[in-house]
Structure 1
Amino acid sequence: MTALSPTALEEAAKAFQSAYHEHADTLEGYEAMLTAAITAYLAQREKEGFVEVPVEPTVTMRKAAVEADDERTGNETCAHIYRAMLTAASQEQNDA
C-alpha cells in the first residue's frame, strides 16, 4: 500500500466539509459526504501520478500485456507493457 498523500487528504477533507454543509443529517447525506471525500482523494492522487488498479491483473490487462510485448523489444519493453496494462485497467473501470 502506498503512503497516504497529505495533499490528497486535504482535498478529501475540503470536499467532505463542502458536502457536510450541503446535506442534512441523513444516510443519503453521509453517503454524499463520503463519496465526495473519496472522489477528491482519488482525483488528487491521479494528479500525483497514481491510479487505482486491481491487485491481480484482469484478463483484459493480461491480453494488453501480451499485445504490448509483441510490439517492443529491449529495455523499454517492461515500461511499455506496464502502461498498456494500466490503460486496459482504466478502460475496464470506465466501461463498468
Structure 2
Amino acid sequence: MTEPDTEDVRRQLVDAFEGADYPVSNPMELLPALPNGPATTFESGTFSMSVLELRSAAQETDGASDRFPYETPEALADDIVEGLQDAGKLPNEG
C-alpha cells in the first residue's frame, strides 16, 4: 500500500463534518453530520481510522478534543490532522 496522503485525509474530514450545525461545542454534535455515524471511516494509503479512533488519537495528543468550540469544518479538520501528525499516524507535509 501507499503512504497516507495527509491532504486527502483532511479533505475527507472536511467533507464529513461540513454538514454539522456550526459552531459545534462538543464531539457529540458532529455525529449526526457523519455519513455513516460513528462507523464513518477515513482512509488514505496505509491510513485507516474510524471517527471513534480519531477521537482517541486526539485525546492522546492534545488534538481536537480540548479545542471546542469550532466555527468551521476546516478548523476542526486542521486540528485533527495536526493531532494525527503529532501521534505519528499521518506524515507531516510541507
TM-score, normalised via structure 2 length: 0.30
TM-score, normalised via structure 1 length: 0.30
Structure showing the higher strand proportion among its residues: 2
Greater C-alpha Rg: 1
Bigger RCO (CA 8 Å, 6+ sep): 2
